[in-house]
Amino acid sequence: MNRRDVLKIGGAMVAHTAAAQQVPPSKKSVIVVGAGIAGLSCGYELMRRGHHVTVLEASGRPGGHVHTLHDPFADGLYADIGAEHFYYPGYTEYWRYLKEFGLTAEPYPHRNNIVRYLRGKPTPEDELHSKTVLTQLGFNQRETDFLVQRPWAELPLLYVQKYVDRIQDERNPFLPGLTQLDQITMRDLLKRDGASAAALEFFGSSTPALQMIWAAAIKKLRGTDLESKKVFRLKGGNQLMTDAFAERLGQRVHLGCPVSAIEHGPSGATVTYKEFGQQKKKSADYLVSCISLVMLRQIPVTPAWPEAKAFVIREMPYYTRTRIVFQSRTRFWKTDKISPNWYPPSPLLSEFWPMAEEVNTPRGIIIAGAQAGTTASLSLAEFMKVYPGRSVDIEQTIAYDWSKNPWAGMCERVPYGLGELARFWPEAGRPCGRIYFAGAYAAQMSWGQEAALESANRAALDIHGA
């Protein structure tokens, strides 16, 4: 970060603090359901504006999908098994809180020197800038010339940049000439615009074209790359962020309090919940739902949601996964002089890279992803199969299957179905009477922590100004 960046963040913090210190028109009571990063930040912003806040969390810990494991790792090592990283630029709210809470950002180069699998062969990143390799893969001359100069992941921009450039408001992708692109897949668009068979093979996804174009436009408008390599994590683990919110909220956060029913009307909302096994009810002027819609759809609501909101809650698509952590006796990839950043094609091991590199120990941590239900032994066997070095000395393997987490099992949302964008957006973030919504699904981008923070701040500001 240069001096101008620091001043920009500092200015935003000053403006935000000034807004927070304004005397509210009237103190409001607010129930926040869920103590993930969205619920904690929403509660914090309402608290600092003088409102009465109660945060109800079903599980026994705050943080939700932001979760750092320390045990059972040796020598002070740790692993972020949930939220992985944040960008710069792009993660505006996250950096503001990082500075406010005095947290330290660590560069996280897990997107550097990536080894990708192409047609079953591991291919280092530098080979993907070779004309010979690209021609052998079957890219046409235009695509080859592009990839010689640009990152592999950016090839679709060769065909869609003209559409990306048209979006100037990141909250509005519905422009004449673009709206119909939600009716065709990215593969169909690339094929229509003359992409080679190789481009269709590697980049021709079934995602609706407009949704990919919109995502690329948001990154462009925020000054970050399509696949940003300027990524960071918090020194000591990303859970330090949610811990900082929870510490400031104090006893306003009630753990072990699952909500079982919601009633709402023109003057407020009432929740039924359990605390220490005892059923209770609590009413407030407003309610902010900061849980995944998979969980919200299981809670009876009276009166029922309007159909537009009911569709969003019922149909919002998410993914879940298993996080794998390998602890090794040494950082063997350095001995082997092999990049530790890989994207294997196996559902048992779809990615892996190191973390906690700043911990002063010869031991190492490799963190990986796998499909839900994958066991530690299956992922370890897959790692031994794909990693080409000879110095592997893995001591233990931990598997955390998020799909089995009863309260925070869902990760980020995935693209909507063909033609469905207008049904989900902007309805996902709209309030329903006195009920507001925040979370990774409720912002225009699908960047977990930043989306959660932005939607939470929006809800807090709207309630404050109501």
Predicted confidence (pLDDT) per residue in 22-38, tens digit? 554 689 999 999 999 99
Asked whether residue 429 carries a pLDDT value surpassing 90, the answer given is yes
Q: What pLDDT score does 447 carry?
A: 87
DSSP label at 365? E
* 257 within 8 A of 60, measured Cβ to Cβ: no
DSSP label at 63? B
Q: Which of 157, 91, 156, 130 is CA-nearest to residue 449?
A: 91
Q: State the distance between the two ends of the chain, measured CA to CA, in whole angstroms.
A: 37
* 100 within 8 A of 107, measured Cβ to Cβ: no
Q: What pLDDT score does 284 carry?
A: 98
* 115 within 8 A of 123, measured Cβ to Cβ: yes
**How far, in Å, CA of 75 to CA of 430, rounded?**
47
* 367 within 8 A of 352, measured Cβ to Cβ: yes
143, two tokens: 């695509």
Residues 6 or more apart from 155 whose CB is under 8 A from it?
143, 146, 147, 199, 202, 203
| In the chain, ranges of CATH 3.50.50.60 domains | 3-58+237-291+426-465
Asked whether residue 17 carries a pLDDT value surpassing 60, the answer given is no
Classify domain 3-58+237-291+426-465 at the CATH class level.
alpha beta
Residues 6 or more apart from 260 whose CB is under 8 A from it?
272, 273, 274, 279, 299, 300
β-strands 435-437, 286-289 pairing:
parallel
Choosing among 3.90.660.10, 3.30.70.100, 3.30.300.30, 3.40.50.720, the CATH entry for 77-90+319-404 is: 3.90.660.10
Residues 6 or more apart from 24 whose CB is under 8 A from it?
49, 50, 51, 464
Asked whether residue 379 carries a pLDDT value surpassing 90, the answer given is yes
Asked whether residue 427 carries a pLDDT value surpassing 90, the answer given is yes
Q: What tens digit of pLDDT does each residue of 293-327 get?
A: 999 999 999 999 999 999 999 999 999 999 999 99
Report the b/e string of 87-118 with b at 16+ CB within 10 A.
bbbbbbbbbbbbeeeebebeebbbbeebbbeb
Question: Across residues 212-235, what is the average pLDDT?
Answer: 96
Asked whether residue 78 carries a pLDDT value surpassing 60, the answer given is yes
Q: How confident is the model at residue 64 (pLDDT cuts 50, 70, 90)?
A: very high
Residues 6 or more apart from 69 whose CB is under 8 A from it?
78, 79, 80, 81, 325, 398, 400
Question: Across residues 370-378, what is the average pLDDT?
Answer: 97
Question: Across residues 207-221, what is the average pLDDT?
Answer: 97
Where do the H-state alpha helices sit in 222-336? 239-249, 293-296, 307-315, 332-336
Asked whether residue 6 carries a pLDDT value surpassing 80, the answer given is no
Sheet with 121-124, side-by-side order of all strands: 121-124, 115-118, 342-343, 351-355, 364-370, 322-328, 394-401
Q: What pLDDT score does 14 carry?
A: 52
Question: Across residues 142-171, what is the average pLDDT?
Answer: 98
Where do the H-state alpha helices sit in 196-306? 197-203, 209-221, 239-249, 293-296
CB atoms within 10 A of CB 307: 9
Mean pLDDT across the chain: 95
| In the chain, ranges of CATH 3.90.660.10 domains | 77-90+319-404
Asked whether residue 59 carries a pLDDT value surpassing 70, the answer given is yes
User: Could you give the C-alpha distances from 32 to 21, 244, 438, in angstroms and in order?
Assistant: 21, 17, 10
Q: How confident is the model at residue 446 (pLDDT cuts 50, 70, 90)?
A: confident
Positions of E strands within 329-429: 342-343, 351-355, 364-370, 394-401
**How far, in Å, CA of 113 to CA of 100, rounded?**
33
pTM above 0.85, yes or no: yes
